[in-house]
Structure 1
Amino acid sequence: MTTAPHSALLQDRRVLVTGAARGLGFAFAQALGANGARVVLADLRADLLDASVSQLVAQGHEAHGVVVDAADPASVTACAKQAVERLGGLDGLVNNAAITDSGGKTADELDIATWDRVMDVNVRGTWLMTRACRPALRDSGRGAIVNLASDTALWGAPRLLAYVASKGAVIAMTRSLARELGPDAITVNAIAPGLVQVEATRYVPEARHRHYVEQRALSRDQLPDDVTGAVLYALSDLARFVTGQLLAVNGGFVMH
Protein backbone atom coordinates (compact mmCIF):
# COMPACT_ATOMS: atom_id res chain seq x y z
CA MET A 1 0.00 0.00 0.00
CA THR A 2 1.39 3.38 -0.96
CA THR A 3 1.04 6.61 0.97
CA ALA A 4 0.16 9.75 -0.94
CA PRO A 5 2.16 12.89 -0.24
CA HIS A 6 0.76 15.31 2.31
CA SER A 7 -2.11 17.36 0.91
CA ALA A 8 -4.28 20.16 2.25
CA LEU A 9 -7.55 18.42 1.28
CA LEU A 10 -8.35 17.53 4.89
CA GLN A 11 -5.79 19.66 6.69
CA ASP A 12 -6.33 19.50 10.47
CA ARG A 13 -9.66 17.69 10.13
CA ARG A 14 -10.35 15.52 13.15
CA VAL A 15 -11.60 12.11 12.08
CA LEU A 16 -12.57 8.90 13.86
CA VAL A 17 -12.31 5.68 11.86
CA THR A 18 -13.76 2.46 13.26
CA GLY A 19 -12.51 -0.99 12.36
CA ALA A 20 -9.20 0.72 11.60
CA ALA A 21 -6.57 -1.70 12.88
CA ARG A 22 -6.20 -3.37 9.49
CA GLY A 23 -7.69 -3.75 6.03
CA LEU A 24 -9.85 -1.00 4.57
CA GLY A 25 -10.12 0.85 7.87
CA PHE A 26 -6.36 1.17 8.16
CA ALA A 27 -6.13 2.25 4.51
CA PHE A 28 -8.66 5.00 5.24
CA ALA A 29 -6.72 6.15 8.31
CA GLN A 30 -3.47 6.17 6.38
CA ALA A 31 -4.97 8.16 3.50
CA LEU A 32 -6.55 10.61 5.93
CA GLY A 33 -3.20 11.20 7.59
CA ALA A 34 -1.52 11.68 4.22
CA ASN A 35 -4.11 14.35 3.42
CA GLY A 36 -3.52 16.35 6.57
CA ALA A 37 -6.16 14.89 8.91
CA ARG A 38 -5.64 14.04 12.56
CA VAL A 39 -6.99 10.57 13.14
CA VAL A 40 -8.28 8.30 15.88
CA LEU A 41 -8.23 4.61 14.95
CA ALA A 42 -10.79 2.51 16.82
CA ASP A 43 -10.89 -1.27 16.81
CA LEU A 44 -11.67 -4.29 18.97
CA ARG A 45 -8.21 -5.78 18.37
CA ALA A 46 -5.92 -3.94 20.79
CA ASP A 47 -2.83 -5.88 19.66
CA LEU A 48 -3.25 -4.92 16.00
CA LEU A 49 -4.34 -1.38 16.87
CA ASP A 50 -1.11 -0.47 18.64
CA ALA A 51 0.99 -1.56 15.67
CA SER A 52 -1.19 0.32 13.19
CA VAL A 53 -1.08 3.55 15.19
CA SER A 54 2.69 3.26 15.54
CA GLN A 55 3.01 2.83 11.78
CA LEU A 56 1.05 6.00 11.07
CA VAL A 57 3.00 7.99 13.66
CA ALA A 58 6.25 6.76 12.10
CA GLN A 59 4.98 8.12 8.77
CA GLY A 60 4.60 11.56 10.35
CA HIS A 61 0.84 11.51 10.92
CA GLU A 62 -1.04 12.33 14.12
CA ALA A 63 -2.79 9.12 15.10
CA HIS A 64 -4.32 7.77 18.29
CA GLY A 65 -5.77 4.37 19.12
CA VAL A 66 -8.94 3.57 21.04
CA VAL A 67 -10.21 0.06 21.74
CA VAL A 68 -13.94 -0.29 21.05
CA ASP A 69 -16.58 -2.99 20.78
CA ALA A 70 -19.02 -1.59 18.22
CA ALA A 71 -21.82 -3.80 19.56
CA ASP A 72 -21.49 -2.49 23.13
CA PRO A 73 -23.26 0.85 23.77
CA ALA A 74 -21.05 1.73 26.74
CA SER A 75 -17.89 0.98 24.79
CA VAL A 76 -19.08 3.08 21.84
CA THR A 77 -19.91 6.03 24.08
CA ALA A 78 -16.50 5.82 25.74
CA CYS A 79 -14.79 5.60 22.34
CA ALA A 80 -16.48 8.76 21.05
CA LYS A 81 -15.61 10.59 24.26
CA GLN A 82 -11.94 9.59 24.04
CA ALA A 83 -11.76 10.55 20.37
CA VAL A 84 -13.13 14.02 21.10
CA GLU A 85 -10.76 14.46 24.04
CA ARG A 86 -7.69 13.42 22.09
CA LEU A 87 -8.46 15.47 19.00
CA GLY A 88 -10.16 18.42 20.68
CA GLY A 89 -13.34 17.85 18.73
CA LEU A 90 -14.54 15.86 15.73
CA ASP A 91 -15.13 16.80 12.10
CA GLY A 92 -15.55 13.37 10.52
CA LEU A 93 -16.62 9.81 11.29
CA VAL A 94 -16.00 6.74 9.14
CA ASN A 95 -18.27 3.88 10.25
CA ASN A 96 -16.18 1.02 8.91
CA ALA A 97 -16.35 -1.58 11.71
CA ALA A 98 -18.13 -4.69 10.47
CA ILE A 99 -18.03 -8.47 10.53
CA THR A 100 -19.10 -11.07 7.97
CA ASP A 101 -19.37 -14.36 9.90
CA SER A 102 -22.24 -15.73 7.77
CA GLY A 103 -20.10 -16.36 4.69
CA GLY A 104 -20.76 -19.69 2.96
CA LYS A 105 -23.99 -20.51 4.80
CA THR A 106 -27.34 -20.67 3.06
CA ALA A 107 -30.38 -18.94 4.52
CA ASP A 108 -31.44 -22.33 5.93
CA GLU A 109 -28.04 -23.02 7.50
CA LEU A 110 -27.60 -19.57 9.06
CA ASP A 111 -28.06 -19.68 12.84
CA ILE A 112 -29.80 -17.01 14.86
CA ALA A 113 -26.77 -16.23 17.02
CA THR A 114 -24.68 -15.41 13.94
CA TRP A 115 -27.48 -13.29 12.47
CA ASP A 116 -27.80 -11.32 15.70
CA ARG A 117 -24.05 -10.79 16.05
CA VAL A 118 -23.71 -9.45 12.50
CA MET A 119 -26.65 -7.10 13.00
CA ASP A 120 -25.33 -5.94 16.39
CA VAL A 121 -21.96 -4.93 14.98
CA ASN A 122 -22.80 -3.79 11.45
CA VAL A 123 -26.17 -2.11 11.95
CA ARG A 124 -26.57 -1.27 15.61
CA GLY A 125 -22.88 -0.36 15.85
CA THR A 126 -23.23 2.14 12.99
CA TRP A 127 -26.22 3.74 14.68
CA LEU A 128 -24.60 3.80 18.13
CA MET A 129 -21.38 5.39 16.90
CA THR A 130 -23.28 7.97 14.88
CA ARG A 131 -25.40 8.83 17.91
CA ALA A 132 -22.36 9.10 20.18
CA CYS A 133 -20.43 11.34 17.77
CA ARG A 134 -23.30 13.58 16.69
CA PRO A 135 -22.82 16.33 19.33
CA ALA A 136 -19.15 16.82 18.43
CA LEU A 137 -19.87 16.69 14.70
CA ARG A 138 -22.61 19.28 15.16
CA ASP A 139 -20.28 21.54 17.10
CA SER A 140 -17.75 21.29 14.28
CA GLY A 141 -20.07 23.05 11.84
CA ARG A 142 -18.72 20.89 9.01
CA GLY A 143 -19.38 17.38 10.26
CA ALA A 144 -19.30 14.51 7.78
CA ILE A 145 -20.13 10.83 8.21
CA VAL A 146 -19.19 8.05 5.82
CA ASN A 147 -20.89 4.68 6.30
CA LEU A 148 -19.27 1.64 4.72
CA ALA A 149 -21.86 -0.44 2.89
CA SER A 150 -21.11 -3.14 0.30
CA ASP A 151 -22.01 -3.79 -3.30
CA THR A 152 -23.26 -7.22 -2.16
CA ALA A 153 -26.39 -5.38 -1.01
CA LEU A 154 -26.85 -4.07 -4.57
CA TRP A 155 -26.65 -7.37 -6.41
CA GLY A 156 -27.79 -9.78 -3.70
CA ALA A 157 -24.79 -12.01 -3.07
CA PRO A 158 -25.90 -15.56 -2.15
CA ARG A 159 -24.73 -17.47 0.95
CA LEU A 160 -24.02 -14.21 2.73
CA LEU A 161 -27.48 -13.29 3.95
CA ALA A 162 -26.77 -11.69 7.33
CA TYR A 163 -23.97 -9.54 5.94
CA VAL A 164 -25.96 -8.51 2.85
CA ALA A 165 -29.00 -7.65 4.97
CA SER A 166 -26.84 -5.62 7.36
CA LYS A 167 -25.27 -3.61 4.56
CA GLY A 168 -28.67 -3.00 2.99
CA ALA A 169 -29.75 -1.62 6.35
CA VAL A 170 -26.69 0.65 6.44
CA ILE A 171 -27.66 2.08 3.06
CA ALA A 172 -31.22 2.77 4.25
CA MET A 173 -29.97 4.24 7.53
CA THR A 174 -27.67 6.57 5.62
CA ARG A 175 -30.62 8.18 3.85
CA SER A 176 -32.65 8.56 7.02
CA LEU A 177 -29.72 9.91 9.01
CA ALA A 178 -28.91 12.40 6.25
CA ARG A 179 -32.34 13.97 6.72
CA GLU A 180 -32.15 13.90 10.52
CA LEU A 181 -28.64 15.33 10.75
CA GLY A 182 -29.00 17.83 7.92
CA PRO A 183 -30.22 20.59 10.28
CA ASP A 184 -26.93 20.15 12.16
CA ALA A 185 -24.99 20.71 8.90
CA ILE A 186 -23.76 17.09 9.09
CA THR A 187 -23.53 15.19 5.81
CA VAL A 188 -24.10 11.43 5.79
CA ASN A 189 -23.10 9.32 2.79
CA ALA A 190 -22.40 5.66 2.10
CA ILE A 191 -19.63 3.98 0.11
CA ALA A 192 -20.24 0.50 -1.30
CA PRO A 193 -16.95 -1.21 -2.20
CA GLY A 194 -16.75 -4.42 -4.13
CA LEU A 195 -14.63 -7.41 -3.12
CA VAL A 196 -11.39 -5.79 -1.95
CA GLN A 197 -8.12 -7.65 -1.49
CA VAL A 198 -7.70 -7.38 2.30
CA GLU A 199 -7.25 -9.75 5.23
CA ALA A 200 -11.00 -9.95 5.85
CA THR A 201 -11.70 -11.37 2.37
CA ARG A 202 -9.13 -14.15 2.40
CA TYR A 203 -11.86 -16.65 3.28
CA VAL A 204 -13.67 -15.91 -0.01
CA PRO A 205 -13.18 -18.75 -2.52
CA GLU A 206 -10.80 -18.00 -5.37
CA ALA A 207 -13.62 -18.65 -7.85
CA ARG A 208 -15.59 -15.73 -6.37
CA HIS A 209 -12.57 -13.44 -6.67
CA ARG A 210 -12.16 -14.44 -10.33
CA HIS A 211 -15.86 -13.85 -10.97
CA TYR A 212 -15.57 -10.31 -9.66
CA VAL A 213 -12.52 -9.56 -11.80
CA GLU A 214 -14.08 -11.01 -14.94
CA GLN A 215 -17.37 -9.13 -14.53
CA ARG A 216 -15.93 -5.72 -13.70
CA ALA A 217 -15.81 -3.03 -16.35
CA LEU A 218 -12.30 -2.43 -15.02
CA SER A 219 -11.09 -6.02 -15.08
CA ARG A 220 -8.60 -6.32 -12.22
CA ASP A 221 -8.40 -6.94 -8.49
CA GLN A 222 -9.79 -4.20 -6.26
CA LEU A 223 -7.26 -2.84 -3.76
CA PRO A 224 -7.77 -0.70 -0.64
CA ASP A 225 -6.35 2.38 -2.38
CA ASP A 226 -9.18 2.09 -4.91
CA VAL A 227 -11.68 2.99 -2.18
CA THR A 228 -9.86 5.66 -0.20
CA GLY A 229 -10.46 8.47 -2.69
CA ALA A 230 -14.23 8.19 -2.34
CA VAL A 231 -13.98 8.39 1.45
CA LEU A 232 -11.65 11.40 1.32
CA TYR A 233 -14.03 13.16 -1.04
CA ALA A 234 -17.08 12.51 1.15
CA LEU A 235 -15.28 13.92 4.19
CA SER A 236 -13.99 17.01 2.41
CA ASP A 237 -15.46 20.41 1.61
CA LEU A 238 -15.83 19.22 -1.99
CA ALA A 239 -18.85 17.24 -0.80
CA ARG A 240 -20.48 19.76 1.53
CA PHE A 241 -23.69 19.72 -0.54
CA VAL A 242 -23.71 15.95 -1.05
CA THR A 243 -25.67 13.92 1.49
CA GLY A 244 -27.84 10.83 1.66
CA GLN A 245 -26.02 9.35 -1.32
CA LEU A 246 -24.58 5.92 -2.09
CA LEU A 247 -21.44 5.62 -4.20
CA ALA A 248 -20.60 2.15 -5.48
CA VAL A 249 -16.82 1.81 -5.77
CA ASN A 250 -16.31 -1.56 -7.43
CA GLY A 251 -14.76 -1.09 -10.86
CA GLY A 252 -18.13 -1.34 -12.55
CA PHE A 253 -19.17 -4.75 -11.22
CA VAL A 254 -22.44 -3.11 -10.19
CA MET A 255 -23.40 0.17 -11.84
CA HIS A 256 -25.66 2.00 -9.44
Structure 2
Amino acid sequence: MTARNITIKRRWSEVVLPSGMVITIPPDDNMKQITVNDDIDPYATSANQEYPLGTRLEYGREKFRYALCGASNVEIGALCQSVVPLAGHINELCGTTAVGDTTIDFFPAAATTDDLAENELAQGYIYIYDAIGEGSKYRIKSHPAITGQTAGVLTLYDPIRILTTTGTSKATVMHNKFYKFIIHPASPTATPCGWTVTAVLATYYCWLQTKGPLTVLIDGTVVMGQEVRPSEDDDGAVAAMDYDEGTYAELGAVGQVMEIGADAAGGAATYGLIDARLE
Protein backbone atom coordinates (compact mmCIF):
# COMPACT_ATOMS: atom_id res chain seq x y z
CA MET A 1 0.00 0.00 0.00
CA THR A 2 1.24 3.52 -0.79
CA ALA A 3 2.43 5.38 2.31
CA ARG A 4 -0.04 7.84 3.80
CA ASN A 5 0.63 11.57 3.57
CA ILE A 6 1.52 12.09 7.24
CA THR A 7 4.40 14.40 8.15
CA ILE A 8 4.59 13.81 11.91
CA LYS A 9 4.11 10.11 12.68
CA ARG A 10 5.76 9.34 15.97
CA ARG A 11 3.53 11.62 18.05
CA TRP A 12 0.19 9.98 17.29
CA SER A 13 -0.32 7.02 19.53
CA GLU A 14 -2.08 5.36 22.43
CA VAL A 15 -0.98 6.55 25.86
CA VAL A 16 -1.78 4.95 29.23
CA LEU A 17 -1.95 7.69 31.86
CA PRO A 18 -0.90 7.21 35.52
CA SER A 19 -4.60 7.46 36.45
CA GLY A 20 -5.33 4.37 34.34
CA MET A 21 -7.05 6.36 31.62
CA VAL A 22 -6.12 5.51 28.03
CA ILE A 23 -6.00 8.23 25.37
CA THR A 24 -5.77 7.41 21.66
CA ILE A 25 -4.71 10.34 19.49
CA PRO A 26 -5.38 10.16 15.73
CA PRO A 27 -2.99 11.62 13.11
CA ASP A 28 -3.42 15.39 12.69
CA ASP A 29 -0.60 17.28 11.01
CA ASN A 30 -2.39 20.58 11.65
CA MET A 31 -1.67 20.36 15.39
CA LYS A 32 2.08 20.71 15.75
CA GLN A 33 2.24 20.52 19.52
CA ILE A 34 0.15 18.35 21.83
CA THR A 35 0.71 18.02 25.56
CA VAL A 36 -0.80 14.97 27.24
CA ASN A 37 -1.20 15.61 30.96
CA ASP A 38 -0.86 12.90 33.60
CA ASP A 39 -4.58 13.21 34.24
CA ILE A 40 -7.39 14.35 31.94
CA ASP A 41 -10.75 15.64 33.12
CA PRO A 42 -13.49 14.38 30.74
CA TYR A 43 -15.92 16.84 32.36
CA ALA A 44 -13.85 19.93 31.52
CA THR A 45 -14.47 22.31 28.62
CA SER A 46 -12.10 24.74 26.95
CA ALA A 47 -12.16 27.68 24.54
CA ASN A 48 -8.93 26.38 22.97
CA GLN A 49 -8.33 23.09 21.19
CA GLU A 50 -6.10 20.66 23.08
CA TYR A 51 -6.39 17.45 21.02
CA PRO A 52 -7.39 16.43 17.49
CA LEU A 53 -11.14 16.06 17.02
CA GLY A 54 -12.18 12.48 17.57
CA THR A 55 -9.40 11.73 20.08
CA ARG A 56 -10.65 8.86 22.25
CA LEU A 57 -10.42 8.74 26.04
CA GLU A 58 -11.20 5.54 27.97
CA TYR A 59 -11.95 5.63 31.67
CA GLY A 60 -12.95 2.20 32.96
CA ARG A 61 -16.05 1.20 30.99
CA GLU A 62 -16.61 4.76 29.81
CA LYS A 63 -15.44 6.09 26.44
CA PHE A 64 -15.33 9.72 25.35
CA ARG A 65 -14.53 11.57 22.13
CA TYR A 66 -12.99 15.03 21.88
CA ALA A 67 -15.36 17.38 20.09
CA LEU A 68 -16.17 20.99 19.18
CA CYS A 69 -19.58 22.43 20.04
CA GLY A 70 -21.45 24.33 17.34
CA ALA A 71 -23.08 27.77 17.46
CA SER A 72 -25.49 27.04 20.34
CA ASN A 73 -24.99 26.04 23.97
CA VAL A 74 -25.87 22.43 24.82
CA GLU A 75 -27.19 21.30 28.21
CA ILE A 76 -25.84 18.41 30.28
CA GLY A 77 -26.97 14.86 29.43
CA ALA A 78 -28.09 15.74 25.90
CA LEU A 79 -27.67 13.42 22.93
CA CYS A 80 -25.83 15.29 20.18
CA GLN A 81 -25.42 14.81 16.45
CA SER A 82 -22.84 15.77 13.85
CA VAL A 83 -23.06 19.00 11.89
CA VAL A 84 -25.71 18.93 9.15
CA PRO A 85 -24.18 18.19 5.70
CA LEU A 86 -24.68 21.05 3.23
CA ALA A 87 -26.57 20.26 0.04
CA GLY A 88 -23.90 22.06 -1.98
CA HIS A 89 -21.24 19.67 -0.69
CA ILE A 90 -23.03 16.56 -1.94
CA ASN A 91 -22.58 15.05 -5.41
CA GLU A 92 -20.50 17.94 -6.76
CA LEU A 93 -17.73 18.03 -9.36
CA CYS A 94 -14.17 17.09 -8.47
CA GLY A 95 -10.92 17.28 -10.40
CA THR A 96 -8.76 14.87 -12.37
CA THR A 97 -6.40 12.72 -10.30
CA ALA A 98 -3.93 9.91 -10.85
CA VAL A 99 -3.33 6.90 -8.64
CA GLY A 100 -0.98 7.92 -5.82
CA ASP A 101 -1.92 11.63 -5.81
CA THR A 102 -2.55 13.24 -2.42
CA THR A 103 -4.55 16.25 -3.64
CA ILE A 104 -7.91 16.61 -5.36
CA ASP A 105 -9.93 19.63 -6.55
CA PHE A 106 -13.46 20.05 -5.20
CA PHE A 107 -16.16 22.45 -6.41
CA PRO A 108 -18.74 23.51 -3.77
CA ALA A 109 -22.04 24.34 -5.47
CA ALA A 110 -23.03 27.84 -4.33
CA ALA A 111 -21.16 30.99 -3.33
CA THR A 112 -21.51 32.08 0.33
CA THR A 113 -23.84 29.21 1.30
CA ASP A 114 -21.25 26.54 0.58
CA ASP A 115 -18.05 28.47 1.31
CA LEU A 116 -15.45 26.62 3.37
CA ALA A 117 -13.14 28.24 5.92
CA GLU A 118 -9.50 27.17 5.93
CA ASN A 119 -9.22 23.56 7.15
CA GLU A 120 -12.93 23.36 7.97
CA LEU A 121 -12.99 19.87 6.45
CA ALA A 122 -9.71 18.75 8.05
CA GLN A 123 -10.05 15.26 9.56
CA GLY A 124 -13.24 14.82 7.55
CA TYR A 125 -13.71 12.84 4.35
CA ILE A 126 -14.25 13.13 0.63
CA TYR A 127 -15.81 10.19 -1.15
CA ILE A 128 -16.39 9.72 -4.83
CA TYR A 129 -20.13 9.69 -5.23
CA ASP A 130 -20.55 8.82 -8.90
CA ALA A 131 -18.83 7.95 -12.21
CA ILE A 132 -15.08 7.29 -12.52
CA GLY A 133 -13.56 6.46 -9.13
CA GLU A 134 -16.94 5.98 -7.44
CA GLY A 135 -16.98 4.18 -4.11
CA SER A 136 -13.57 5.43 -2.95
CA LYS A 137 -13.18 7.39 0.31
CA TYR A 138 -10.26 9.56 1.43
CA ARG A 139 -9.42 11.34 4.68
CA ILE A 140 -8.86 15.09 4.32
CA LYS A 141 -5.67 16.57 5.77
CA SER A 142 -5.97 20.28 4.98
CA HIS A 143 -7.21 22.89 2.51
CA PRO A 144 -7.23 26.67 2.01
CA ALA A 145 -10.40 28.74 2.32
CA ILE A 146 -12.68 27.77 -0.58
CA THR A 147 -15.38 29.96 -2.11
CA GLY A 148 -18.49 28.26 -3.46
CA GLN A 149 -18.66 27.84 -7.26
CA THR A 150 -14.85 27.84 -7.46
CA ALA A 151 -12.41 24.94 -7.24
CA GLY A 152 -10.43 24.40 -4.08
CA VAL A 153 -7.59 21.96 -3.50
CA LEU A 154 -8.05 19.37 -0.77
CA THR A 155 -4.86 17.75 0.53
CA LEU A 156 -5.43 14.15 1.60
CA TYR A 157 -3.88 11.77 4.11
CA ASP A 158 -4.84 8.84 1.91
CA PRO A 159 -3.33 8.59 -1.60
CA ILE A 160 -5.77 8.25 -4.48
CA ARG A 161 -6.48 4.58 -5.22
CA ILE A 162 -8.77 4.96 -8.24
CA LEU A 163 -8.29 7.90 -10.61
CA THR A 164 -10.98 10.58 -11.11
CA THR A 165 -11.79 12.77 -14.11
CA THR A 166 -12.82 16.43 -14.28
CA GLY A 167 -16.35 16.95 -15.58
CA THR A 168 -17.32 13.33 -14.96
CA SER A 169 -16.48 12.26 -11.42
CA LYS A 170 -18.73 13.56 -8.63
CA ALA A 171 -17.75 13.79 -4.96
CA THR A 172 -19.24 14.49 -1.54
CA VAL A 173 -17.33 16.05 1.35
CA MET A 174 -18.13 15.46 5.02
CA HIS A 175 -16.91 17.30 8.12
CA ASN A 176 -15.26 15.40 10.94
CA LYS A 177 -18.00 13.70 12.93
CA PHE A 178 -17.06 15.69 16.04
CA TYR A 179 -16.83 19.12 14.37
CA LYS A 180 -19.42 21.67 15.56
CA PHE A 181 -21.90 19.16 16.95
CA ILE A 182 -25.45 20.25 17.79
CA ILE A 183 -28.13 18.89 20.11
CA HIS A 184 -29.83 15.93 18.42
CA PRO A 185 -33.10 17.32 17.03
CA ALA A 186 -36.39 15.45 17.28
CA SER A 187 -36.18 15.02 13.51
CA PRO A 188 -32.55 13.92 13.02
CA THR A 189 -30.47 15.50 10.28
CA ALA A 190 -27.16 13.67 10.85
CA THR A 191 -25.69 10.79 12.85
CA PRO A 192 -25.54 10.75 16.68
CA CYS A 193 -22.03 11.45 17.97
CA GLY A 194 -22.29 11.32 21.77
CA TRP A 195 -23.71 12.88 24.93
CA THR A 196 -22.64 15.95 26.85
CA VAL A 197 -21.44 15.14 30.37
CA THR A 198 -21.50 18.80 31.40
CA ALA A 199 -23.15 21.94 30.06
CA VAL A 200 -21.14 23.10 27.03
CA LEU A 201 -20.91 26.66 25.73
CA ALA A 202 -21.13 27.39 22.01
CA THR A 203 -17.80 26.99 20.15
CA TYR A 204 -16.14 25.32 23.17
CA TYR A 205 -14.24 22.03 23.08
CA CYS A 206 -15.32 19.16 25.30
CA TRP A 207 -15.49 15.39 25.69
CA LEU A 208 -18.67 13.67 24.50
CA GLN A 209 -19.41 10.29 26.08
CA THR A 210 -20.06 7.49 23.61
CA LYS A 211 -20.03 4.35 25.73
CA GLY A 212 -20.72 3.21 29.29
CA PRO A 213 -22.96 4.33 32.18
CA LEU A 214 -24.34 7.79 31.48
CA THR A 215 -27.01 10.20 32.75
CA VAL A 216 -29.30 11.29 29.91
CA LEU A 217 -32.50 13.19 29.18
CA ILE A 218 -35.51 10.85 29.05
CA ASP A 219 -38.60 11.17 26.82
CA GLY A 220 -41.69 9.20 27.84
CA THR A 221 -41.70 5.82 29.56
CA VAL A 222 -38.65 3.59 29.36
CA VAL A 223 -38.22 0.06 30.70
CA MET A 224 -35.38 -1.23 32.86
CA GLY A 225 -32.87 -3.22 30.82
CA GLN A 226 -34.49 -2.44 27.48
CA GLU A 227 -33.09 -0.41 24.61
CA VAL A 228 -33.50 3.31 23.96
CA ARG A 229 -33.24 5.33 20.75
CA PRO A 230 -33.09 9.04 19.88
CA SER A 231 -36.36 10.74 20.78
CA GLU A 232 -38.69 11.89 18.02
CA ASP A 233 -40.36 14.41 20.37
CA ASP A 234 -37.75 16.04 22.62
CA ASP A 235 -34.43 17.42 21.37
CA GLY A 236 -31.46 15.69 22.99
CA ALA A 237 -33.52 13.03 24.77
CA VAL A 238 -33.80 9.26 24.36
CA ALA A 239 -37.00 7.22 24.27
CA ALA A 240 -37.97 3.56 24.43
CA MET A 241 -36.99 1.55 21.37
CA ASP A 242 -40.10 0.39 19.52
CA TYR A 243 -39.37 -2.12 16.78
CA ASP A 244 -43.04 -2.17 15.76
CA GLU A 245 -43.14 1.54 14.94
CA GLY A 246 -42.85 2.25 11.24
CA THR A 247 -41.13 5.63 11.27
CA TYR A 248 -38.34 6.26 13.76
CA ALA A 249 -37.64 2.74 15.00
CA GLU A 250 -35.08 2.34 12.26
CA LEU A 251 -32.90 5.05 13.83
CA GLY A 252 -31.35 2.29 15.90
CA ALA A 253 -30.67 1.73 19.57
CA VAL A 254 -28.14 3.98 21.33
CA GLY A 255 -28.11 2.26 24.74
CA GLN A 256 -29.91 0.23 27.40
CA VAL A 257 -31.77 1.50 30.46
CA MET A 258 -29.95 1.09 33.79
CA GLU A 259 -32.25 3.30 35.88
CA ILE A 260 -35.62 4.74 34.88
CA GLY A 261 -36.11 8.51 34.80
CA ALA A 262 -39.29 10.54 34.37
CA ASP A 263 -40.26 12.31 31.14
CA ALA A 264 -38.00 15.33 30.59
CA ALA A 265 -40.75 17.04 28.56
CA GLY A 266 -38.25 18.69 26.27
CA GLY A 267 -36.19 20.37 28.98
CA ALA A 268 -33.57 19.66 31.60
CA ALA A 269 -36.07 18.50 34.20
CA THR A 270 -35.43 14.80 34.77
CA TYR A 271 -32.82 12.27 33.80
CA GLY A 272 -32.32 8.54 33.65
CA LEU A 273 -29.24 6.32 33.56
CA ILE A 274 -28.37 4.27 30.48
CA ASP A 275 -25.51 2.09 29.32
CA ALA A 276 -24.52 4.03 26.18
CA ARG A 277 -23.27 2.17 23.12
CA LEU A 278 -22.46 4.54 20.28
CA GLU A 279 -19.20 2.63 19.84
Question: What TM-score does the superposition give when structure 1 sets the normalisation length?
Answer: 0.26
Q: Tell which structure's C-alpha radius of gyration is larger.
A: 2
Q: Which has the higher contact order (CA 8 A, sep 6+)?
A: 2
- Give TM-score scaled by structure 2 length: 0.25
Which of the two has greater helix per residue?
Answer: 1
